[in-house]
């Protein structure tokens, strides 16, 4: 717990900066998840006559659809690792501010950047609020399942591109790194939801 007023201000700013980063990562994960889902459908329905090179609409750069699809587990896993890291950073800042000891109302008071998930599950009812704590691990688990599914799809597909093997190794490694953090998030949120 912080007793110095300067330290308190710095930790509050840190908490708010991490909250802003978490909100951005969650939105990027949502957009990337939808994008890669749509790209997967396009890759799987492509015929031999369909060109793999696609023009990006805004910037006018040609990219290989198969490479973008093949690197989906890396991108989703990397963003997920960053997002999972924000939960640890928020917990650390909360501990330094003494917010956790004061309860949920105190935590809500310093969270100046609530995410869409916060508003979706926002409730006056204590029971609904507790259930809402599971929304973050649920959302991240859905993205994790999609990333694993895409990894297995790339692994099993006959689609080839330069760097396919490296993409599978790096993507698999990142997804393995995500798993213990995701399980830890589930455990901490379940503990808070059902024991507090």
- Residue 85, Cβ neighbours under 10 Å: how many? 15
Structure-token pair, residue 121: 């599950």
H-run or E-run covering 63: strand 62-64
Q: Give the 3-state secondary structure of residue 20.
A: helix
CA distance 169 to 164: 9
Higher pLDDT: 111 or 70? It is: 70
User: Tell me: the pLDDT tens digits for 145-155?
Assistant: 999 999 999 99
Q: Residue 63 above 80 pLDDT?
A: yes
- Band of pLDDT at residue 163, cut at 50, 70 and 90: very high
- Residue 19, Cβ neighbours under 10 Å: how many? 21
Task: Answer left, alpha or beta for residue 61, where phi above 0 means left and psi between -120 and 50 means alpha.
Answer: beta
Flag whether the pTM goes above 0.75.
Answer: yes
Domain ranges within the chain, ordered by starting residue: 5-195
């Amino acid at each position: 717990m912080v007793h110095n007023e300067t330290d308190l201000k710095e930790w509050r700013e840190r908490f708010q900066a991490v909250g802003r980063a978490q909100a951005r990562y969650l939105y990027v994960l949502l957009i990337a998840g939808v994008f890669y889902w749509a790209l997967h459908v396009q890759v799987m329905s492509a015929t031999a006559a369909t060109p793999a090179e696609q023009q990006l609409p805004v910037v006018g750069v040609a990219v290989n659809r198969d490479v973008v699809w093949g690197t989906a587990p890396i991108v989703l896993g990397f963003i997920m690792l960053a997002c999972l890291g924000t939960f640890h950073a928020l917990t650390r800042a909360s501990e330094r501010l003494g917010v956790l000891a004061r309860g949920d109302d105190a935590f809500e008071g310093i969270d100046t950047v609530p995410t869409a998930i916060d508003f979706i599950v926002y409730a006056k009812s204590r029971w609904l609020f507790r259930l809402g704590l599971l929304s973050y691990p649920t959302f991240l688990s859905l993205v994790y399942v999609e990333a694993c599914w895409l990894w297995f799809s790339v692994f099993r597909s006959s689609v080839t591109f330069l760097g396919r093997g490296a993409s599978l190794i790096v993507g698999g490694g990142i997804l393995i790194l995500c798993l213990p953090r995701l399980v830890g998030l589930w455990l901490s949120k379940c503990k808070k939801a059902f024991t507090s």
